Chains A and B, each alone.
Chain A
Amino acid sequence: MYRILVIDDEEEVRHALLRRLQREGFQVDVAEGEADGVAKIRQASPAYDVVITDMAMENPDSGVRILEAALAHDLFSEVIVLTAYGNVANAVECMRRGAFDYVEKNIPGVDVYELLVLKIEQALERRRSAVNTLRRMEEITRRLTSSQRHSE
C-alpha cells in the first residue's frame, strides 16, 4: 500500500483530503504544519511515496521547505504542492526545485479532488519508474563488476 503524507494547517482541509485519499486505498498520515510535516518526513521509514503539502502555512514558502526535507530524506519521494490562493509563483519555484506538480485548491467547475488523485497516480508512476531505473542500473553495475572479476 502506498504511503501518503498530507500537510495542511487547516483542519477541515486535512480532514477532507484524509477521507478522500483513504477511500482511494492509500495509507494516509496527516501533519498540521511545516514543523510537524518536516518531523514526520524525517521519521518515516520507509519514506512516504507521495507528500502533499499546502504552500503557505507558518511561512509563505513553507511548501519549499517541506519539499527540501522530503527530497533530502528520499530523493525519489514525490511532492505535490497545494495552493489556496494566488500563490502560483511559489508553487512554480517548487516545481523548479523538483516538485512533481502543483494543484490549485480552487478551480471553478473542476473537481480538484479528482485532479489530485490523478496527479497522485502519475506521481506514483514516475516514482515507480525512477525506482525501477535505479534498480536496473544497480543490476547492470553489479553484473559489470562481477564479469570484470571473472575476466581477471
Chain B
Amino acid sequence: MKTRQHDRYQQTLEQLGAVVKQLVRYPDIDHFLTTALQQGMKLVGGFRAFVALVDEDAGELVIRSALGPGWDEEKRQRRLTVAQEEGRGITGYVAATQRPYCTGDVSRDPHYLRFFDDVVSEVAVPIVDAYGRTRGVINIESDQPNAYGQEDVDAIVLLADLCLTALNLHQSRLRQEALVQIGNELSTSEDLDDLMQTVLSVASKVLRFEDCSVFLVDDDRRRLTLQASSGALREQVGQVSYLLGEGLTGWVAQHGEPVRTRDPREDPRWRGIASEMPVEQIGAFLAVPVWGRSRTIGVIRVVRRRSLAPWFDNCFTDDEVEVLSAIGSQLGSAIESLHMRQRLIQTERMAAWGEMSAKAAHMIGNRTFAIKGDLNEVEYLLQQPGEVDRQELTELIGSIRRGVSRLEEILHEFRDFVMATHLSTGVDNVNNIVAQTVAEIFPRRGPVELNLQLDSSLPPIRCDAVKLKRCFAELIENSLSFQPEGGQLHILTELVDSRALPERFGVGRNRQFVHVVFCDRGPGVPYDIKEKIFQPFFSSRVKGMGLGLSIVKGIVEAHRGFVYEDGKPGEGACFHVLLPVNGKPAGDNAESKERS
C-alpha cells in the first residue's frame, strides 16, 4: 500500500515537474497548454482533454488546445457559452461558478451538454486569476464511469494554477515587448501626429479595449484637447476639449492620478462631455495621466464595452492601469523630447539666420561699394571734355552689370535658403525629377561624362518637385564646378530600407527610402569637413553666398529625409540623398496638390 502511494506521489511529481520545466523554459503559450494537458491526462487518467480560454467581451469560452480522439476543425472552432442554466455544458458552468466540477456519469448530469458520444466521466477545473476573474477552464474526460475523485480534482487545480502563471507570464512578456517597442518608436517619431498614431497602435497591442483617445493640455494650461482617437471620436480631433478639472478626463489632467471605473455615470466627477460609445454600453473606463518632466501634459483614456456575460467583470485590472500609465509616461517624455528637438532646430535656424543676415549685409555692402565706384567713374568720364571713351564706358557698364547680377545671386540664395523648408507637395516619381533636372542643367557637350542609372521600380512619393529639382541641380552644379577639366558624374536612384543609412542617423527599422546618389571624380571632400560642408557659408565656391549645400540639406530635411557625403577624398565626392517613401513632409503646407 505504502509503495503504491509512493509510486503515485513519484508519478505526480514527475508529471508536474515536466509542466514546470516547460513553464520555466517558456516556449509559446499554446505549446505550454498542450504540454500541461498531456501531463494532466497522465496524472488523472483520461482519453480526451481541452483548455478553453475566456473571451471577456463576447462572454464566451474559446478552445485553445485540445487532445484525444474525435477533434475536428469544426469542434475546435466551437465557442462555449458561459451560463449557469442547465444543459449549457459543464465547462461553461465551471467558468461561471469558478468551482471545480467532477462527474462520474455524464448521462445523469444536469449540466452536461453532449459534445462527444463516448464520454462517461469528466473533471473540469477553472483557471481563476488573482483578481477573481475566470481566465479559462481545463477539462479532462474519461470513457470509464466514476473515473475521478477528489485527489484528481486537486491535481488538476494545481495544473490550473500553473496554467495561470503561464498565461500571466505570456501576457507580461507581450507587454514588455510592446513597451520596449513603444519606447523605440516614440523616440524616433518626427511629429506629434506620428507619436499619437504610434501610441494608439501600441496600446491596442498590449491592452484589450474598444476605443482609445489621447488628450493633451493646451499651452495656456486651461484646457485639454483631443489629439487622437482610434474610434468614434476620430472625426472630432481638435474639437473635443475639457477644462482642467472638468469631468473624469479633466480630473486626471489636474490631479495627475488615474481614474478607473466600471460605469462612468456612477462617478460624481463624470460630466458626459464626449464619449467613445453610448455611456450605457461602457463596461470599463480607464484614464491615466501623460506625464511630462514636472507635470501632467495630457491624458490617455480607454473604454471597454460591457461584457455580454454578466458574470464577467470587464473592468481594468491593476496591471492594466500600470501598463497604460507606463505608456502615458513614455508618451510624455517622447512629446517633451520632440518639443525640445523642435526648439533646438528653431534655435539653430535662428542662429543661422543671424549669421546669414550679417554675411548677406557684408556681401551686399561690398557689391554696392563696387557698383558705386563704377558709377563714379562713369560720371567722371562723362564730365571730361571732348569725345567720351566708349570702350572704357562699356567696360564700366559691364562691371556694373556683373555687380548687379551678383547682388541678384545673393538675393536668390537668400530666398532659397529661407524657402527651403516651405514645401508644396504632390505625388511624384523621383526618377522624373532627376531626369528633368539633368535635362535642364547638365551641359550636353561639356567635359563631364554623365552616367544615369534610374531604378524603374521606384514608388511615387509625396514631395515638392520644384524644391527637389533645386536640390538635385545644386548637387549637379557642385559636381561640375569641381571638375572643370572634365570627369564623370554618376547619378543613381534605388529603393532601400533604413539599413542603408549610416547608424548615426538613428532611423527606426522597416522604413523605406528613395535613395539618390551623386558620385563624381572630382577632388572629393576631406574627412574632417564632411559634416561641415552642409553648414551655411561653408562652401568654397565663389558663386552666391556659400549657402548651396545648406539649401540642399534644408530641402531634404523638410522632406524628413537625410543627406550625407561619403566619398573617398582624392577619388571623388559621393552625395547621398534619402527621401522617405511613406513620410509626410515636415514643411508641407495646406495647398498641397496632386501632380501626375
Bound together: yes
Chain B: interface residue total (CB-CB under 8 A): 20
Which residues of B lie under 8 Å from residue A105 when comparing CB positions?
365-366, 368-369
A2 within 8 A of B: no
A30 within 8 A of B: no
A152 within 8 A of B: no
B374 within 8 A of A: yes
Within 8 A of B (CB), among A106-135: 106, 111-113
Known: A19-B373, A113-B373. A10 touches B366 (CB 8 A): yes
Tally of contacts, chain A with chain B, CB under 8 A: 57
CB distance from A72 to the nearest CB of B (A): 28
CB distance from B381 to the nearest CB of A (A): 10
CB distance from B354 to the nearest CB of A (A): 12
Q: Is A13 a contact of B370 with CB atoms below 8 Å?
A: yes
Q: Is A13 a contact of B372 with CB atoms below 8 Å?
A: no
Known: A12-B403, A86-B358. A17 touches B373 (CB 8 A): yes
Q: Is A86 a contact of B361 with CB atoms below 8 Å?
A: yes
A70 within 8 A of B: no
Some 17 contacts from A to B, beta carbons below 8 A apart, are A12-B371, A15-B370, A19-B373, A19-B377, A20-B373, A20-B377, A23-B377, A56-B362, A84-B362, A84-B365, A86-B358, A105-B365, A106-B365, A106-B369, A111-B372, A112-B369, A113-B372
A16 within 8 A of B: yes
Residue of B nearest to A23 (CB): B380
Residue of A nearest to B403 (CB): A12
B412 within 8 A of A: no
Complex: how many Å from CA A84 to CA B369? 8
The 3 closest A-B pairs by CB, nearest first: A16-B373, A12-B370, A105-B369
Which residues of B lie under 8 Å from residue A113 when comparing CB positions?
372-373, 376
Chain A: interface residue total (CB-CB under 8 A): 18
Residue of A nearest to B370 (CB): A12
Which residues of B lie under 8 Å from residue A106 when comparing CB positions?
365, 368-369
Q: Is B374 a contact of A16 with CB atoms below 8 Å?
A: yes
B367 within 8 A of A: yes
B402 within 8 A of A: yes
Report which of A15, A17, A85 forms a contact with B362, defined as CB distance below 8 A. A85
B399 within 8 A of A: yes
Q: Is A112 a contact of B372 with CB atoms below 8 Å?
A: yes
Q: Is A85 a contact of B399 with CB atoms below 8 Å?
A: no
CB distance from B368 to the nearest CB of A (A): 6
CB distance from B576 to the nearest CB of A (A): 31
Complex: how many Å from CA A143 to CA B245? 101
Which residues of A lie under 8 Å from residue B374 when comparing CB positions?
16
Complex: how many Å from CA A113 to CA B376? 8
Complex: how many Å from CA A16 to CA B370? 6
Residue of A nearest to B373 (CB): A16
Known: A86-B358, A86-B361. A13 touches B366 (CB 8 A): yes
Q: Is A13 a contact of B369 with CB atoms below 8 Å?
A: yes
Which residues of A lie under 8 Å from residue B369 when comparing CB positions?
13, 16, 84, 105-106, 112
Which residues of B lie under 8 Å from residue A23 when comparing CB positions?
377, 380
Q: Is A15 a contact of B366 with CB atoms below 8 Å?
A: no
Q: Is B373 a contact of A85 with CB atoms below 8 Å?
A: no
Which residues of A lie under 8 Å from residue B377 when comparing CB positions?
16, 19-20, 23
Which residues of A lie under 8 Å from residue B399 when comparing CB positions?
12, 15-16
CB distance from B285 to the nearest CB of A (A): 63
Known: A10-B370, A84-B366. 10 other contacts (CB 8 A): A13-B370, A13-B373, A16-B373, A19-B373, A19-B377, A85-B362, A85-B365, A105-B365, A105-B368, A106-B369
